[in-house]
Amino acid sequence: MKPIVVHPRIDFMLYAMDAVVNQAAKWSHMTGGQAHPSMTIRGIINRGGEQGAQHSQALQAWFAHIPGLRVVMPATVADARDLLIASVLCKDPVVYIDDRWLYDQTDDLPPVIEFDLRLERPRCLRLGSDLTIVGSSYSTRLALNAAEELEKLGISAEVIDLRVLNPFHSEEVVTSVTKTGRLLAVDGGWGPCGIASEVLAVTVQHINPANFKSSPSRVTLPFAPAPTARNLEKTYYPDTNSVVRASLNLMSS
Amino acid sequence: MIEKRTTYNYGTAILAAFEYLLEKYPEVFVIGQGLWSPWYVGNSMTDLDKKFGKQRVIDTPVAESACTGAALWQA
């Protein structure tokens, strides 16, 4: 069977960590590839709306840390559909994470094509030459919005959408930052040991320091649980302006 | 020839993926909390239980570990 488990809030999926991390992620490895739990676990990120700290988390980094799992985070309407299908058809356990803040995005899609998830990688959604902004899920949306604002200021931003966080593919990011010399990583989770950390790490690992025109930087949540009050939520969550400001800092440093 | 395109939002694109999978692959089933009244997931799961039956779209008690473990065993 090919089950799809739906966790309406990724926060409460933590109750299922043993099944996901100790069982699903390990079976193929421990049985020498004889058992493939072909299951998809959909976890929904449900931020804002004065729901408070226990209903608002973006925990993608936890699952991206575990070998044996695949983690996908669609940012576009096309990926929302086609990466879910690819996840379910994949032989491995997949954590598919969608963010409710993206639900209003619209697009015209061609008929379904079945993709092999193992071949899906990060994608460049916008070409640019001055800096590279890397995001996933809603952060990619912020990166695209910021790139438009930056263009009005004469700054050309390239936007890379990670799409698949586990296994983590670094090639597209490294190629882009080698070209632009500047990196801003944007993530909807916390900074320490998060996805943005990994994006920064692979670039400093693989790119000659002389190629960097400024130190790589990141936009993440403040390192604190989410607030409940609406006015505090507004300052807590990064928005397009946060990404524009961080980009301008990179350009002037 | 112009390719036929359909307008979706992110939520209905997810719904379209569920419908595609449940229609084409009899081995696919969905399990989780509130799947028979999925108001909290936008329009991403609307009426799946009515279209594909309550045996394949299973509403569970508030027991994340149990439903994930049960699904894992089925995989």
Stated as kind and residue range, the H or E segment containing A89 is helix A77-89
Alpha-carbon separation of residue A214 from A30, A67, A144, A182, B60 (angstroms): 44, 32, 21, 6, 51
Q: Which carries the bigger pLDDT value, residue A140 or residue B64?
A: A140
pLDDT of residue B34: 87
A12-32 tens-digit pLDDT: 999 999 999 999 999 999 999
Q: Which of A7, A78, A88 has its CB closest to that of B21?
A: A88
Q: Which of residues 46-65 of B touch A (CB under 8 A)?
A: 63-65
Please tell me the distance from the alpha carbon of residue A134 to that of residue A160, in angstroms, as a whole number: 5
Question: What interface predicted TM-score (ipTM) does this complex get?
Answer: 0.94
A131-165 tens-digit pLDDT: 999 999 999 999 999 999 999 999 999 999 999 99
Contacts of B68 in chain A (CB under 8 A): 5, 7, 13, 16, 19-20, 41
pLDDT of residue B2: 64
- Which three-class secondary structure state does DSSP give residue B57? strand
Q: Which of residues 115-154 of A touch B (CB under 8 A)?
A: none
Per-residue pLDDT of chain A (253 residues; tens, 9 = 90+): 999 999 999 999 999 999 999 999 999 999 999 988 999 999 999 998 899 999 999 999 999 999 999 999 999 999 999 999 999 999 999 999 999 999 999 999 999 999 999 999 999 999 999 999 999 999 999 999 999 999 999 999 999 999 999 999 999 999 999 999 999 999 999 999 999 999 999 999 999 999 999 999 999 999 999 999 999 999 999 999 999 999 999 999 7
Length of chain A, please? 253
Is the pLDDT assigned to residue B41 strictly greater than 90?
no
Do A70 and A163 form a contact (C-beta atoms < 8 A)?
no
Spell B36-55 as b/e; 16+ CB within 10 A means b. eebeebbebbbebbeebeee
Q: Which of residues 79-118 of A touch B (CB under 8 A)?
A: 80-82, 84-85, 88-89, 93, 98, 100, 102-112
